């Protein structure tokens, strides 16, 4: 079981980025006594944020170079990556240094890759792949919603994304996966589906009713196994309804595959990566199955974060760091690979969301 050493720091790789900085700021307000290390390629940016936080230090770190964590292992309590770790160098070095590791940046194929790399190492601390939607917030709440079910037949996670919302540069790489088929569980079997297909109408808590389209998130593979749900699907819509319909058209008619080439990179990414100053982020989770009384049952959980998706992602990261280090009432967790929906006490995660202004209704 992992216990925090208050003399050691939480190291945030990509710590001055859009999400990383919010993780640092929120963690500082919740755990002022624990040091922070803000890591990135730019020393000035890292040191500037560290100075504003207090009890923090900026360090230079390059995710494309080996042995970036081990020189710091005597002063680090946990590592959270808020930037892509393309060669798994940060993850492997963290595991070998005997430090808890939390990753919030991977799409599904890279989660699988990370599991393979991690499984070949001797893990003495938690290795948490928390790259499900909003760093695992959706999957934690979906898993909690199944508690009053005897059998879970289906979980639908529907996302309403504001085109005015903030987004970090790592979102660009996720955009490039848009035309790639991916796997889900349907009726207890693995099935390959195409993104931006199979629309369904959803009423979101903010009053928008719109079609959502299939979207690749890692929880569609992990949540069925952990919750026992026979089928799990994630879909996305945009507050500009024409955007989702247009993207669906591009994917269904093969146009996205045509422009998914280096010469069209700027055009392709401009279609989805145009970050604004902020916008509300909404999630609707629907669970259907059989209740404990043996009768058909449906539960709906909605989530609204008026500070946007980067804020919600940062909170998801905080939940996992505090889980790994037995903070905020958490009792600790075993070593080895884990996922956000395996949270030992989801009520603690729910309270963390509410403490920071996230509206969760069920």
pLDDT of residue 2: 47
Percent of the chain with pLDDT over 90: 79
Q: Report the C-alpha gap between 46 and 15 in whole angstroms.
A: 7
CATH of the domain spanning 137-308: 3.30.360.10
What average pLDDT score do residues 174-201 get?
Answer: 87
Q: Is residue 356 very low, low, confident or very high in pLDDT (cuts 50, 70, 90)? A: very high
CA distance 277 to 266: 21
Question: Which residue spans within 85-205 are E strands per DSSP?
Answer: 101-103, 126-129, 149-161, 182-186, 189-193, 200-203
Compare 192 and 180 and report the one with higher pLDDT: 192
Biggest alpha carbon–alpha carbon distance for the chain: 61
Q: What is the mean pLDDT of residues 47-69?
A: 97
Concatenate the DSSP letters of all residues of 215-263 into one string.
---THHHHHHHHH--SEEEEEEEESSHHHHHHHHHHHHTTHHHHH-SGG
Mean pLDDT within 239-257: 72
Instruction: Give residue limits of the domains in the chain.
Output: 9-134+310-361, 137-308
The tokens describing 88, both together, are: 């798994």
Q: Residue 126 forms beta bridges with which residues?
A: 336
* CATH class in words for 9-134+310-361: alpha beta
d(CA 179, CA 345) in angstroms, rounded, equals 36
pTM above 0.95, yes or no: no
Residue 46 pLDDT level (bands cut at 50, 70, 90) = very high
At residue 290, the 3 state secondary structure works out as: strand
Where residue 179 falls among pLDDT bands split at 50, 70, 90?
confident
Q: What is the DSSP letter of 88?
A: S
Sheet holding 209-214, edge to edge: 200-203, 209-214, 231-238, 149-161, 281-291, 296-305, 359-361
Q: Phi and psi at residue 221, in whole multiples of 5°?
A: -100, -35
The answer to whether the beta carbons of residues 145 and 301 sit under 8 Å apart is yes
Work out the average pLDDT over 183-211.
94
List helix spans (H) across the chain: 18-30, 43-53, 89-96, 108-119, 137-145, 171-175, 219-227, 241-252, 255-259, 265-270, 309-324, 346-355
- What residues pair up with 211 in beta bridges, in sequence order? 201
Residue 209, classed as helix, strand or coil, is strand
Average pLDDT value for the chain: 91
Q: Using one digit for the tens of pLDDT, what is the confidence trace for 132-164?
A: 999 999 999 999 999 999 999 999 999 998 877
pLDDT per residue over 303-316, tens digit each?
999 999 999 999 99
Q: What is the pLDDT of residue 165?
A: 66
Torsions phi, psi of 354, nearest 5?
Answer: -65, -35
pLDDT over 80 (residue 272):
no
Report which of residues 254 and 154 the model is more confident about.
154
DSSP 3-state of 325: coil
């Amino acid at each position: 079981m992992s216990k925090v050493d208050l003399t050691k720091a939480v190291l945030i790789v990509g710590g001055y980025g859009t999400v990383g900085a919010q993780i640092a700021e929120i963690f500082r307000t919740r755990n002022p006594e624990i040091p922070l290390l803000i890591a990135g390629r730019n020393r000035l940016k890292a040191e500037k944020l560290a100075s504003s936080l207090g009890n923090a230090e900026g360090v230079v770190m390059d995710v494309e170079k080996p042995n970036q964590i081990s020189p710091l292992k005597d002063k680090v309590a946990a590592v959270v990556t808020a930037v892509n770790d393309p060669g798994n160098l940060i993850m492997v070095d963290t595991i070998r240094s005997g430090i808890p590791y939390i990753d919030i940046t991977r799409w599904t194929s890279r989660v699988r890759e990370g599991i393979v790399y991690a499984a070949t190492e001797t893990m003495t601390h938690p290795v948490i792949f928390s790259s499900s939607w909003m760093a695992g917030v959706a999957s934690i709440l979906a898993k909690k919603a199944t508690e009053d079910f005897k059998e879970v037949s289906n979980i639908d996670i529907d996302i309403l994304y504001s085109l005015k919302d903030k987004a970090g540069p790592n979102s660009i790489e996720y955009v490039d996966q848009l035309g790639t088929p991916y796997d889900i569980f349907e009726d207890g079997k693995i099935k390959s589906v195409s993104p931006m297909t199979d629309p369904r109408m959803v009423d979101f808590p903010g009053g928008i009713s719109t079609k959502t389209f299939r979207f690749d998130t890692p929880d569609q593979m992990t949540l069925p196994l952990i919750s026992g749900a026979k089928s799990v699907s994630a879909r996305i819509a945009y507050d500009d309804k024409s955007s989702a319909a247009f993207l669906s058209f591009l994917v269904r008619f093969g146009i996205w595959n045509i422009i998914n080439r280096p010469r069209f990179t700027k055009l392709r990414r401009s279609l989805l990566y145009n970050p604004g100053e902020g916008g509300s982020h909404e999630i609707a989770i629907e669970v259907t199955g059989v209740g404990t009384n043996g009768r058909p049952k449906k539960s709906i959980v909605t989530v609204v974060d008026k500070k946007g998706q980067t804020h919600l992602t940062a909170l998801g990261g905080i939940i996992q760091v505090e889980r790994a280090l037995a903070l905020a009432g958490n009792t600790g967790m075993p070593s080895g690979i884990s996922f956000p929906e395996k949270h030992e006490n989801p009520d603690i995660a729910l309270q963390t969301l509410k403490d920071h202004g996230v509206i969760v209704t069920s």
